[in-house]
Structure 1
Amino acid sequence: MTLTEEFEELRPLLFAIAYRILGSVSEAEDAVQETWLRHQVSPTRPTSASACLSAVVTRISIDVLRSARVWREEYIGPWFPEPLLTDPYEDPERSAEPADSLSMAALVLLERLSPLERAVLVLREVFGFGFPEIASTVERSKAACRQLAVRARRHMDAGRPRCEAGRKEREELAGRFFDAFREGDVDGLRELLAADVHMIGDGGSKAPQWGRRMIGAGSVINPDKLGHVGPVADAWAVVREARRARRPQVDRRS
């Protein structure tokens, strides 16, 4: 197997790790690309490419996250992770953990952690790395990594809701929500939300916000953070188009 083939085989795993640490599709892609550049110029071939490259992309992601924290603190309004519609990494033996870790709720909770806590928790809980591997990756002792994992779980648990809907119920509700959103049905959206819900939109000053009545639930609506999802990246453009389509057409010949 060539160097390129070896890397491309591992690319989905590397992206999956980077995305969960960074919460950004573009930053994760950059971290993977930087990993490839370092792998390309390395004078030696590692015994385990998977372990080596996972360690490299994790370290790069930690550094990026530390730098990004300053930018995110200056971001206009609340900063939410970028949603990912499909995960390129598939491991049948651990399919539940990666899927659950992609939910917006899980990604928002990860934002409560320090870069090191986040990396340790992702490697341990999502991808099943052992503490010896994690310790080598983040350059801390095994005991320190165990403490980081405990502290990270504690922070995550503190932010979880008391009652959480099952995955099927969440998917059904999300489907109804996006159908209403796509149709520009504001009344339908209100019906799907509890009376005391607060909606916090991540528009980054580039998309208008809904009224305070709909302001606890979050939708990422900054088009700069949604370019990777395709035609619905600019949600407000979708809404405007839907409203335009529902207007009665005037026959200009009359």
Structure 2
Amino acid sequence: MTRTEEFTAHRSLLFAIAYRILGSVAEAEDAVQETWLRYESSTTEPVSVKSFLSAVVTRVAIDVLRSARVRREAYVGPWFPEPLLDDPYEDPERSAELADSVSMAALLLLERLTPTERAVFVLREVFGFGFPEIARAVGRSEEACRQLAVRARRHMEEGRPRFEADRREREELAARFVDALREGDLDGLTELLAADVSAVADGGGKGPAFARPVAGPTRVARLLAGFATLMDGVAEVASQQVNDQPGVVVRDRDGLLVAVLALDVSDGRIQTIRTVVNPDKLRHLGPVADAWRLREEAIARRRPPGDDAAR
């Protein structure tokens, strides 16, 4: 098998590792590409190609994350990971664990860890690497990696989200949510929301997003119903798996992407709605609409004829 074939065989795993460490599709793809360049130029033949490539992509991702954290501290408004609609790494025997590890909620919990803790946790808890491999990947002793793993696991367990195991139930709930959203059905939306539900938006200063989190079923339902009313005839919504959890994709009439909503579901209700409208975080999913223009068009359509007050 050639190096190109060996690398291709492990590419989906490398992306899965990098994305969980970085929370960015673009940065993960860059890390994978850098891994290939280093592998291609290497003059030695590794004993285990998988271990070698995983170690390289981990080291690259750690370096990228350290610089990315400075930018995230200056980010405008809440920061969310770039939404992932399709995780290329598949392992049927561990599909549930992998789905939970790539959820928006889990990735945001990982933000609490140091870059090295995050890498150790991902390699050990998500992908089951042994400590000798992890130690080589992060440049620490095996004992240090064990301690990092314990600390990271404790931090994650303190706030780990609990998702319903039945994917079908979650998908049915998401479908009901989309139906109620399309209709602007205030009562229908309220019924699907948990008592402590919250809605948060990531616009990054580049997309229309509400400035502060909205909490409580009544307020969140009103927000959603108002959005549905405003966008009626201008945009369409559809159920879509987002980071292997229930979600919604919003597109304009030309099929251009407007927003992605990730839904946290527990006990048969929606606990958290995270909306990504920053166009920079959506471009990897396809052509993106001008959300500001779309919003203005929606407002203009609802303005009474002859009303020029807002112009």
TM-score, scaled relative to structure 1: 0.83
Greater share of residues in strand: 2
d(CA) in 1 for partners of 2:9 and 2:117? 27
Q: Deviation of residue 8 (structure 1)?
A: 1.1
d(CA) in 1 for partners of 2:273 and 2:178? 14
Q: Determine if the alignment matches structure 1 residue 12 to structure 2 residue 12.
A: yes
| 3-state SS, counterpart of residue 95 of structure 1 | helix
Match of 2:274 in 1: 218
Of 101-110 and 90-99, deviating more is 90-99
Q: Determine if the alignment matches structure 1 residue 23 to structure 2 residue 23.
A: yes
Give the conservation status (yes or no) of the 8 Å contact 2:208–2:292: no
Q: Deviation of residue 142 (structure 1)?
A: 1.1
| 3-state SS, counterpart of residue 219 of structure 1 | strand
| 3-state SS, counterpart of residue 275 of structure 2 | strand
Q: Deviation of residue 180 (structure 1)?
A: 5.2
d(CA) in 1 for partners of 2:120 and 2:147? 10
Q: Deviation of residue 130 (structure 1)?
A: 0.6
Q: Determine if the alignment matches structure 1 residue 72 to structure 2 residue 128.
A: no
Give the conservation status (yes or no) of the 8 Å contact 2:207–2:292: no
Q: Percent identity?
A: 68
| 3-state SS, counterpart of residue 81 of structure 1 | coil
Q: 1:147 to 1:167 in 2, by over 3 A?
A: farther
Of 105-114 and 214-223, deviating more is 214-223
Give the conservation status (yes or no) of the 8 Å contact 1:184–1:239: no
Amino acid at match of 2:15: F
Amino acid at match of 2:158: A
Match of 2:43 in 1: 43
Unmatched 5+ stretches in structure 1 = 248-254
Q: How many pairs are equivalent?
A: 243
Greater share of residues in helix: 1
d(CA) in 2 for partners of 1:177 and 1:229? 22
Q: Deviation of residue 237 (structure 1)?
A: 7.9
Q: Deviation of residue 176 (structure 1)?
A: 3.7
Of 116-125 and 1-10, deviating more is 1-10
Amino acid at match of 2:184: D
Unmatched 5+ stretches in structure 2 = 224-271, 303-311
TM-score, scaled relative to structure 2: 0.69
Q: 1:107 to 1:196 in 2, by over 3 A?
A: same
